[in-house]
Amino acid sequence: MAAYKLDLPVGSKIHPVFHVSQLKKHVGSDEVQGQLPLIGPDGGISKEPAKIIDRRIGKKGNRTVTEVLVEWTNTFPEDATWEVLYQLQQQFPDFNP
């Protein structure tokens, strides 16, 4: 029998042993994916706003607020998040959108 046991993430809901007939050879590039992101004091990825991609007006309770779509440093563009502009300016006073 030829089978491989994969080291899957904890919580995976699939059996970790696969027969070789179920596996395909992966041929990837030797390209390195840049440098690793910086880690903050809390152990999470240290990120700061890099640029604002979009703006919209939203409602928070009975107040009208400006929300901005923020692209963060040390993250991928698809990880951009909507943030309340006022709160972003309070948290990052040196950031000038």
Question: How do residues 23-57 score in pLDDT, each as one tens digit?
Answer: 888 888 777 666 666 777 787 777 899 999 999 99
Tokens of 93: 């006073």
Taking a C-beta distance cutoff of 8 angstroms, is the pair 59, 65 a contact? yes
Stretch (H or E) spanning 91: helix 85-91
pTM over 0.75: no
User: What mean pLDDT comes out for the span 74-92?
Assistant: 92
- The encoded tokens of residue 18 equal 């696969």
Domains of the chain: residue spans and CATH: 46-97 (2.40.50)
Judge whether residue 13 has pLDDT over 90: no
